[in-house]
Chain A
Amino acid sequence: MVLKAFFPTCCASADSGLLVGRWVPEQSSAVVLAVVHFPFIPIQVKELLAQVQQASQVGVTVLGTWCHRRQEPEESLGHFLEGLGAIFSHKPWFQLCRERGSKSWSCKATHWQGPTSHAASGEDQVMLIFYDQRKVLLSQLHPPAVLPDRQAGDTTASAGGLAAVFDTVARSEALFQSDRFDEGPVRLSHWQSEGVEASILVELAKWAAGPVCLLLACLLSLVSAASACRVFKLWPLSFIWSKLSTCEQLRHRLEQLTLIFSTRKAKNPAQLMRKANMLVSVLLDVALGLMLLSWLHRKDLIGQLADALIPVADHVAEELQHLLQWLMGAPAGLKMNRALDQVLGRFFLYHIHLWISYIHLMSPFIERILWHVGLSACLGLTVALSILSDIIALLTFHIYCFYVYGARLYCLKIHGLSSLWRLFRGKKWNVLRQRVDSCSYDLDQLFIGTLLFTILVFLLPTTALYYLVFTLLRLLVVTVQGLIHLLVDLINSLPLYSLGLRLCRPYRLAAGVKFRVLEHETGRPLRLLMQVSIACILPCSSKGLREPG
């Protein structure tokens, strides 16, 4: 198999030295992680590598030499470099060489047979693959470190192909902590050499996150314990809680906050992403809620809303009364049964009258209630929207009642009609066998049954019309509530953190790799550039590495 050497792009301009990294024999590939510069003491290099190996469980060794000179290396340097091969023995021993300021690279891999059989050392073809260390480190394209159903010894063997390369780089964090400008015994060059990448805000946040999480977790557990107490499980209260969408939303938020501030760390990148998404959506929600609150208070909208509420409710009731008067007359030219019409119409009109009286009774308290409800917007926009949806449900409660009456009446009528229709045909519903059976009726049963059937049939249009009208009204209210709930769900579940990552740091959402062949000269090794290809939401774009399984 062709030997492959994965070389970091940041070391392409580093000074001469030793190549340090990991050799993966199954893939015949050498992953170079850093370059150790001259001068160095071999014992100290070996100590550093032993430390890194212990800390990261990755077999880091010296893989070869790196030579970055103005012209071809002189003979003495050539012997010196080969002498190093004797000190750090590794099979195969790589010798990478680059002329300063030019694009020509040369690479030799020798299998060191021993000092006497130098002539018999085989030289294999090497393929150089450049990779961006920082992006590979952050792209998380390697399998998780601990698989619960396998032993630790199996994981390295099963991580095939390029995932092994990514795994090596990601686990060797310990190697990247010291660089060539440090005062230590060994000077390394890697992706952190140009300046350690860290953000003071991120570090402070990480340091402060521990105690803050602990505190908030305690508070949230207290709140959860209080809400789970027995008083709230009694029948009327539990029924009301289950019907109000505000309680549902508050419970959902409480669960989300408990998950975010739990003191257990996320086990894999997917869980971390989920936590981050939840946190960002909670923050956005609270920000929008505070904006709404400030807008409401600035224009004193609550007072205006409270003043407008009663006239609006009156107007709705008046419109309903007009509608019922219309139904009681000759709606759409249909001829209704006058007696039934009057009964139903008066029944519903009385309900509306009751409802209006109730609203007028509540009117002094409306402003206070609305003000307190407006305060709840600081818990989040979703809570405010849920409360709005609940207020709409409460204000249109009479429409809901009319719908229920109309539906019940219609349902009874339809059941009666179907049963009497069966009687008309001489059949019966057999409850035991759950099917329609024939049945011989007496004459008086048939007579009464047919009479009732006729009555119900002729009263059908009236009931059906009332049912239709109130169902449409109820549908209207349900549609409005449904739109509000849709908006609430959207805010709850939109993965804003992932979207932000896609815009700002696309390599974190890597979906695979792609290769590009760099300029090639005959006689020189083949050079490829490995780039991380990003996952995209649009339908046609880069697809990448197909992970096994």
Chain B
Amino acid sequence: MEDEQSFSDICGGRLALQRRCYSPSCLEFCLSCPRITLRSLTAVTCTVWLAAYGLFTLCENSMILSAAIFITLLGLLGYLHFVKIDHETLLIIDSLGIQMTSSYASGKESTTFIEMGEVKDVVINEAIYMQKVIYYLCILLKDPVEPHGISQVVPLFQGGRRQDHLCIQQKVSLGDGGILASSGRQK
């Protein structure tokens, strides 16, 4: 079942968040990041080619132009494969674990799975970024050596812009709380 609610961020803009409930014990949240726009792509390509043409008029060497074309193509491929995240998914499976998947624009997927036995808590952290305070959701992992300590803080939904998270956190932490509570019975 997909949730039809629409979410908004701190500034009031619309957020592309989807919530899917496969079963009472399995939830999935999918956050889509804004796509690459034609305007920005055209702007970058034009800048690179104008710079290459400027160099060409200075040096009179046509290799510069071919090199600029290669650089543009390779740069675009590299950006799509390594940098541009298309959507991020958080899959919460009761008493099994939490899985975070980032899908890049070229189709590559990068997955991290954290077992439920290692999760201490899911919290909303505040951080100061430039001139404002942003909130982000993160998972606290247990420290194997010290029972009350925290070994790692894993932030979620890193691919998108940092400001968009307040409303997601409310939804996710409510969803999380349910599943964590039910798996908390085993401890």
Contact = CB atoms under 8 A, between A and B. Distances in A.
A522 to B, nearest CB: 9
Interface string A502-546: 000000000011110100100000101000010000001111111
B24 A1 contact: no
Contacts of B111: 514, 533, 542-544
Contacts of B91: 515, 517
Nearest to B141: A546
Interface string B1-41: 00000000000000000000011111010000000000000
A161 B116 CA distance: 8
A103 to B, nearest CB: 15
Contact of A541 (B25, B93, B110): B110
Nearest to B100: A543
A540 B110 CA distance: 7
A549 interface: yes
B75 interface: no
B23 A515 contact: no
A225 interface: no
B110 A543 contact: yes
Contacts of B186: 1, 26, 28
B45 interface: no
B131 interface: no
A147 interface: no
A520 B113 contact: no
A346 to B, nearest CB: 52
Contacts of B110: 540-543
Given A515-B99, A544-B112, A545-B115, A520 B93 contact: no
B94 A161 contact: no
A321 interface: no
B177 interface: no
Contacts of A2: 25, 94-95, 182
* Chain B interface residue bracket vs A: 20 to 34
A515 B96 contact: yes
Contacts of A495: none
Given A1-B183, A161-B117, A514 B99 contact: yes
B100 to A, nearest CB: 9
A549 B144 contact: yes
A163 B69 CA distance: 50
Given A2-B25, A546-B115, A515 B93 contact: yes
Nearest to A161: B115
Contact of A540 (B26, B82, B93, B94): B82
Nearest to B154: A546
Nearest to A26: B186
A533 B112 CA distance: 9
Contacts of A515: 91, 93, 96-97, 99, 113
Nearest to B81: A540
Contacts of A26: 186
A548 B182 contact: no
Contacts of B115: 160-162, 545-546, 548
A213 interface: no
- Most A Cβ at <10 Å: residue of B22, B91, B185: B22
Nearest to A531: B111
A125 B24 contact: yes
Contact of B93 (A125, A528, A533): A528
Given A4-B96, A28-B95, A514-B99, A546 B25 contact: no
A317 B101 CA distance: 66
A370 interface: no
Contacts of B26: 127, 517, 526, 528
A322 to B, nearest CB: 39
A526 B24 CA distance: 10
Contacts of A162: 115
Contacts of A528: 26, 93
A128 B93 CA distance: 12
Interface string B148-187: 0000100000000000000000000000000000110110
Given A127-B25, A540-B82, A1 B114 contact: no
A114 B5 CA distance: 48
Contacts of A543: 110-112
Contacts of B116: 161
B113 A125 contact: no
Contacts of B25: 2, 125, 127, 526
Nearest to B102: A540
Given A515-B91, A520-B22, A548-B144, A1 B112 contact: no
- The interface centre, meaning the residue of B28, B95, B144, B185 with most chain A CB atoms within 10 A of its CB, is B95
Contacts of B28: 517
Contact of A545 (B93, B109, B113): B113
B113 A526 contact: no
Contact of B117 (A129, A160, A513): A160
Contacts of A127: 23, 25-26, 93-94, 96
B96 to A, nearest CB: 7
Interface in B82-123: 82, 91, 93-97, 99, 101, 108-118
Contacts of B97: 161, 515
Contacts of A541: 108, 110
Contacts of A129: 96
A528 B96 CA distance: 11
Nearest to A517: B22
A344 to B, nearest CB: 49
Contacts of B117: 160-161, 548
Interface centre among A26, A28, A526 (most CB of B within 10 A): A526
Q: Considering residues A27, A125, A528, A546, which has the most beta carbons from chain B within 10 angstroms of its beta carbon?
A: A546
A529 to B, nearest CB: 12
Nearest to A162: B115
Nearest to B28: A517
Contact of B22 (A125, A161, A526, A545): A526
Indicate the member of B108, B109, B113, B183 with the most A CB atoms within 10 Å.
B113
A28 B115 CA distance: 14
B180 to A, nearest CB: 12
A520 B23 contact: yes
Q: 9 tightest CB-CB pairs across the interface, nearest first?
A: A549-B144, A514-B111, A526-B23, A161-B115, A1-B95, A543-B112, A2-B25, A161-B117, A160-B117
Given A1-B183, A528-B26, 12 more contacts: A1-B186, A27-B95, A515-B91, A515-B113, A517-B91, A526-B26, A528-B93, A540-B110, A542-B111, A544-B112, A546-B152, A548-B118
7 contacts: A127-B93, A127-B94, A161-B116, A520-B22, A542-B111, A545-B115, A546-B115
